[in-house]
Structure 1
Amino acid sequence: MNFLSEEKRAKLSEVLFYVALSIELGIMLLEKTVIPLHDCQSYVYRVTFLLTLIVVLLMKHDKKEWIVIGAVCLFTFVSYRISGKNDLLRYAVFMMAARDIDLKKAMKYIFYVSVAGYALIALLSVVGKLGVVAPPPRDYGRGDIEVRYEFGFGHANTFYGSVYAFVLLWMWIYGEAASLREWLLVFALNFMASVVSATRTGMLVSVLTFGVGFLARFYKKIKECKIVYVLTALVTPVFCVAFSVWSAVVSKVPRYEFEHKHYDLIEWIDDKLNNRIHDLYRETEKHAGSIWTWKLFSDGNSEETFDMGWVRIFYWYGIIPAIVISALIVLIIYICYKKKDVWTLIIILSLSIYTVVEATFVSEYIGRLFILPVIGVYLGEFVNRKKDGECLRS
């Protein structure tokens, strides 16, 4: 690409990145509806992967960065060849392509495209053109017949997950400058969404998220507190991963085995999680999700889905990739500490806890994990060792 000037390469890289991002957001929005995608996804993924790979090749890299790029691509490619899932390879190249973007501009683009798409899905369901506002009352596994509103998203949890993504994006972009009235309006929207979708997990995680968010907004000195970053680093990979591993282990304990020394505790927690722990073992014939199905690298037969997101990471991709992902999260938390970026920290904390019991953000859809551009920019900065205090969010 030496026939292009540096300025033209930068412009072409930006255009190609936004084309790839737009396609990924579009297929993410389609997937959230009842519209069947069939097998077209794999072809779309090839297009967006090629676009982001071209962007990476157009960029200027020093020798150290090329080594890092080569190592990451090799690791994720090996994972792909063993597991048959190219998600990690696509995610990695996408994040590399995001290195030089205007981060706030990109996040606003994701925010407004997503909000427009979510609003259109809901509107089409209300006028009877796409999906339903709410399916007939039924038992969702809680022992009660209930109505859960989904507004065209195919499932109540998918609807709430979209509102939750909107809230987190809003916090990252506007939370620091928003007034108390704006904060309360967004909280009210989130609360109503959690009520009509009847998601207990969403309500609990959102209360935690808004509590920390309020504190960060109205007590500015919190971003200087080292303990906040340390606690997040402990909660995210230590508590979330450790609890998920424990769940995968005890999922095999048969129900009503009262003599088991931890039976009461397991049953109490599992009841609060709507049987998610026991379902890791008993929901499928091969006991997908239980720790006995985990491998160092997953294989093409590990396709089953279940709700516990961190367990899905271990099951879908393998123990080694899951450990690498956990370490990467700790590194991002460290970068947040160096940059005093409490808002990205809040997003990481909230998503990590939410993913313990919901696998919404563990998927092949890049458009779901809106935090990827932030991670790409921050890791690119870390590899290039730019000034720690420079805040790319501004």
Structure 2
Amino acid sequence: MRSLIRFFISIFLIAILVIVCTKGIPIVQAAELRLAQVQPSTQPMTPKAAIERLFTSKQIQTDWFTPSFLSQIPVSPQQVIESLKTALGAYQGVQEIGEDYLIIFDRGSVPTKIVLDASGRITGLLFEAPRAKLSSLNEAIAQFKTLPGKVSLLVLEDNKERAALNATTSLAVGSAFKLAVLEALKGQIASGKRSWSDVVELQPNWKSLPSGILQNWPDGSRLTVETLAALMISQSDNTATDSLIYWVGKEAIEAVTSRNRPFLTTRELFLLKTDQNEALLQRYRAGDEAQRRTVLNEVNQLPPPELTAIGSSPKALDVEWFFTAQELCSLIEKVADLPLMSINPGVARAKDWQRLAFKGGSEPGVLNLTTWLLGKTGKRYCVAATWNNDESLDEVRFMSLYNGLLETLK
């Protein structure tokens, strides 16, 4: 899916990191140097002051940033600042924490890193995942209940329920379904049928759309199963995922999640949701399992869709991968021991935990975050949260609530 597609795009909307390093010595003409010597000294811009200016100014100026920074960010700084204020309330101030900073709002905070050039312009800026200000799990549940649409949440501590909201309701979870693919693969490896070192040749009909990188690799490229699995989880690579679905077999994955029959590849889902395939989509939605498999046989004869054919509004959310929060916690518990599960920590701060495992997913109208954590006290946690709505989601708010909940468990 466009999962960490949209999940990491949404992270980038609130977490922009562009570091531009310039080497060399500036050359100053003698006349300019003499002029500079007689100018009154000005107070240099500090990183803290630069952050304060971003959040206290009515209009952000482009000359506060280097051109190279602005050329590499997907949205305007003004949009990012406004989204944080909308999610977390009025700006309160900035705290210095070592070389980093914590921006305080009425309803939460945002860990931040910033880099300035010699002129005080911003060359690097990282807003980490926002954290809502939550005093308890009960308050977290109350806040999640206010989200429009359908929401599920489960917090487990040592496999015992600490908090729950619609935890047995199956919802669309985007790329979090890849946990089921990994569980089926792990089972085949444990049985001796497969090995992490098995080499797979990339087939043209396995190629999907981003997120990921393998859609751009040459046909016939050789990758180990372990590499495919690592890309599927850490980068949510859709082509790696579809390769593993075909390598493991849909039947094996359907045995892990019988609700999701027939089990869709990401390429199949993208094709079903493009406007030119509306007739196929409606047949799929109306069909039983056998009829849906027939539709997918037709879908798989089509060339992959163009990225521009995928809309940005929620569409056919009943055509997806469906899991309950309980099922997601069960799945991630079974694969959390794999080193590849810790490559991408998601919204959690890795340094706050002994170990963690993460998988999230999203498409327009769908957002999921599922994290397994081993605390420094030795307690194990799972936090799975899913949000579905027929209208666009406030992803910043959802992630801030989720991250604030994690803070209550530390």
Q: TM-score, normalised by structure 2?
A: 0.32
Bigger Rg over Cα:
2
Greater share of residues in helix: 1
Q: TM-score, normalised by structure 1?
A: 0.33
Greater share of residues in strand: 2
